[in-house]
Amino acid sequence: MTSQLVNLTRHFLRRADLCLLAVVLGAALAPVFATPAFAQSARGPAIQNPDVAAAKELVTDERFYDAFSKLADLVPTMAPDDPDKALGQFLLARALFGLNLYQSALRAFDAVMVTPDHPLYREKMRYYLQIQRSVPGDLATVERLIDAPEGTLRKDDADEVRFLVGRYYFSIGEQSYGLGHGQCNDQCKDSFGKAIGHLSALRPAAGETYLKAKHLLGVTFVYLNQAQPALEAFKDLLRFEEQVGSPSYYKQYKDLASMSLGRLFYSIGQYDTAVKYYDRVEEGTSQWLDSLFELGWTYFQLNRVDRVLGSLHTLNSPYFEDRYYPEGQVLEALILFRTCRFKETLVTVQRFLRDYKPLKKELDAQLSGQRSDAEFYDYLAALAGQKAKLSVQLRRIFNAALNDKRLQRSFASVLLANSELEGLEKLERNTTATTAAKQLYEDMGRIRAVMVSEAGGLARARLTRVREDLTEIIRQGLRIKYESMKAGRGSISASVRKDMADTALAVSEPREEDAEHVMWPFDGTYWKDELGGYTYDTKSRCTSNEMPKEGAKASKPKGKGGAALKKAGAAGADKAEPAADVAPVAPAAKTEVPAKAEPAKADWGDESAPKADTAPKTETP
């Protein structure tokens, strides 16, 4: 009975882990790598121990269970100076790798004690790389590759290792930057410098690895506030098409380059150039909705409110109900406010507060508990299994919080650990070396516990950050509500009146139908092939006769406005004390980056020199 209970518990945990990755993240699992087409063993001195020679034949024949049974009993009994001990340990690791027991194989390869000039060293490094490919994001494997002399790697593998090591140092620099609260200390600069050294060494011939490296290189320069090198790195992604062509994997990197350049030029105030790059993101791709949202903010800076509302109209369509863009409603409310549509502003803000204030309370409750990181992971796994019961808003916020590549790699590692535990159970049933198999299972259980804790900690940090962002967005919404209520009573500050006048001027230009644009009243129906192409024709009510005068007496709102204002102020929603002026919220981003940049004075190619000194917000690979 106890055994059944343990097995059921293991089954439940694995199903919950799978549900978390596949349901909450919507991620597809990559297939497990098959046995690599490497040489079965390295060339070296003739094997003297007949048992080692027999084990080698078993490995060559891919009889991995039999090889493990022989070697698990044999290797511990071999003397340290036995000339065949290193080969015996290597073959044991090779058998575990052949059984897809990657973490167990990793520790077994660690026990192959040979120097770089030994024939087995090269094979050992190649298996480390293969384990890294099978367990993406495993920094422990990369740490073992850092000190490997480059000559010990195959030429085809060298570029991949350069990228992996560069990403490793980037991760250290990024963590140091976070601990420095937005300041890059000496450790941060040193790590980023090492990352640049490795990432810069790749050439276009490296194909997709080159594209990954160039994007990460651009992000690294963003952290270091170096605008010009960041620009060149992102443009190198676009130049790849001219230099190499357009292989099947290139499209996603082309879109990623356009997004990165759009963010870069937005951040330095070159909004027209930012529009050009955002517009290049292909419709329907993974970057497209983010590009529409950020394009909306760019048009807002250009006072093109017709295009802003058009972008928001697409994002609000039922096709994308699981996507998380709470700032969109606040931006819509801000535009309505600046066109003196105060009742509509209050309705929009109240709808936003109705949807997201309870959500924030839920996040507060979950994040303020006493759960350990491992327990927090279990909570997310259980929540993922209840997807059908979750509200649309809750699905949106969890998708946004957990759709982080580093976090996805962490969750995927837990799934692979689950698979390895199952593989070790099978090994125990198919080997005579049961004691060694049980020890490997116990070791893997401890490793999985660490992985679960790390994944839970990362997820908690991501959700905490999303909660902080949502808190700021709610505060912005309350500020707009407060100003709308004041404006409804006839009180508007000088700076707000200026914003209203600018907006009124921008929307006063008539929009004519042409060969590509048709005007029709919206009846709630979305045409899928028109998504992303909407232009919202709105007129400002801020005329010289209708716009309230600053300091004028408060007047009673017409019609049902009074009731609307009273309803909008219910439930203590306006208890916050907002600032006098209403300011736009910055566009959303995936990764925290520095607040200031030092734009380069060198030639910026076909764009003019930067006009501002704010660094872009850029998604990490």
Q: Which of 83-92, 262-271, 291-300, 592-601 has the lowest mean pLDDT?
A: 592-601
Report the alpha-carbon distance of residue 513 to residue 519 in Å, rounded.
7
Q: What is the pLDDT of residue 545?
A: 43
If you average pLDDT over each of 198-202, 318-322, 551-555, which comes out highest? 198-202
Report the alpha-carbon distance of residue 294 to residue 261 in Å, rounded.
12
Short-list 619, 600, 618, 620, CA closest to 610: 600
**194 vs 14, residue with greater confidence:** 194
Side chain identity at 55, as an amino acid letter? A
> Taking a C-beta distance cutoff of 8 angstroms, is the pair 161, 129 a contact?
yes
Does residue 20 have a pLDDT over 50? no
Instruction: For 285-302, write each residue's pLDDT tens digit.
Output: 778 788 888 888 888 888
Q: Which of 470-484, 509-523, 558-572 has the lowest mean pLDDT?
A: 558-572
Q: Which of 238-242, 365-369, 517-521, 528-532 has the lowest mean pLDDT?
A: 528-532
Short-list 318, 265, 260, 331, CA closest to 290: 260
Confidence at 381, pLDDT banded by 50, 70, 90: confident
Does residue 233 have a pLDDT over 70? yes
Average pLDDT over all residues of the chain: 76
Does residue 514 have a pLDDT over 70? no
Please name the residue that has the structure tokens 């508007």. Answer: 492
Instruction: For 335-364, write each residue's pLDDT tens digit.
Output: 888 888 888 899 999 988 988 888 888 888
Three-state SS sequence of 19-32:
HHHHHHCCCCCCCC
Whole-number percent of the chain with pLDDT over 90: 39
Neighbours of 579 (CB within 10 A): 11
Does residue 112 have a pLDDT over 60? yes
Does residue 108 have a pLDDT over 80? yes
Q: What is the pLDDT of residue 516?
A: 66
**136 vs 453, residue with greater confidence:** 453
Task: State the DSSP H helix or E strand holding residue 475, giving kind and residue range, or none if neither.
Answer: helix 434-488
Q: What is the pLDDT of residue 547?
A: 55
Short-list 387, 385, 386, 455, CA closest to 418: 455
User: In the predicted model, what is the mean pLDDT of residues 324-330?
Assistant: 81
Confidence at 318, pLDDT banded by 50, 70, 90: low
Does residue 184 have a pLDDT over 80? yes
Q: What is the pLDDT of residue 296?
A: 83
Q: What is the pLDDT of residue 101?
A: 97
User: In the predicted model, what is the mean pLDDT of residues 76-80?
Assistant: 93
Q: What is the pLDDT of residue 217?
A: 97
Does residue 135 have a pLDDT over 70? yes
Q: What is the pLDDT of residue 578?
A: 31
Q: What is the pLDDT of residue 560?
A: 32
If you average pLDDT over each of 175-179, 263-267, 551-555, 575-579, which comes out highest? 263-267
Confidence at 320, pLDDT banded by 50, 70, 90: low
Supply the DSSP string of 54-81, one letter for each residue. Answer: HHHHHHHTT-HHHHHHHHHHHGGGS-TT
Does residue 272 have a pLDDT over 60? yes
Q: What is the pLDDT of residue 387?
A: 64
Whole-number percent of the chain with pLDDT over 70: 71
Hey, what are 356's tokens? 């997201």
Compute CA distances 192 → 174, 182, 219, whole Å: 8, 14, 10
Instruction: For 94-107, write each residue's pLDDT tens digit.
Output: 999 999 999 999 99
> In angstroms, how far is CA 99 from the centroid of its own chain?
32
Neighbours of 242 (CB within 10 A): 9
Q: Which of 6-10, 327-331, 397-401 has the lowest mean pLDDT?
A: 6-10
Q: What is the pLDDT of residue 603?
A: 28
User: In the predicted model, what is the mean pLDDT of residues 420-448?
Assistant: 96
What are the two backbone dihedrals, phi and then psi, of residue 598, each rounded to the nearest 5 degrees? -105, 95
Residue 396 makes CB contacts below 8 A (sequence gap 6+) with: 321, 322, 323, 324
User: In the predicted model, what is the mean pLDDT of residues 508-523?
Assistant: 63
DSSP 579: -
> In angstroms, how far is CA 132 from the centroid of its own chain?
20
Residue 191 makes CB contacts below 8 A (sequence gap 6+) with: 169, 170, 172, 173, 176
H runs (alpha helix) in 404-433: 405-429
> Taking a C-beta distance cutoff of 8 angstroms, is the pair 124, 39 a contact?
no
Q: Which domains does the chain have, with CATH numbers?
A: 44-152 (1.25.40.10)
Confidence at 66, pLDDT banded by 50, 70, 90: very high
User: In the predicted model, what is the mean pLDDT of residues 509-519?
Assistant: 64
Instruction: For 544-585, write each residue's pLDDT tens digit.
Output: 644 545 444 433 333 333 222 222 222 232 333 333 333 333
* 598 strand-pairing partners: 226
Instruction: For 23-34, write each residue's pLDDT tens digit.
Output: 333 333 333 333
> Taking a C-beta distance cutoff of 8 angstroms, is the pair 519, 513 a contact?
yes
> Taking a C-beta distance cutoff of 8 angstroms, is the pair 210, 203 a contact?
yes
- Between CA 137 and CA 143, with CA 138 as vertex, the angle to 5 degrees is 120
Neighbours of 374 (CB within 10 A): 17
- Between CA 538 and CA 594, with CA 472 as vertex, the angle to 5 degrees is 105
H runs (alpha helix) in 111-184: 119-134, 139-146, 155-179
**6 vs 188, residue with greater confidence:** 188
- Is the sign of the CA dihedral 212, 215, 221, 226 positive or negative? positive
Q: What is the pLDDT of residue 73?
A: 94
Confidence at 530, pLDDT banded by 50, 70, 90: low
What are the two backbone dihedrals, phi and then psi, of residue 137, each rounded to the nearest 5 degrees? 85, 0
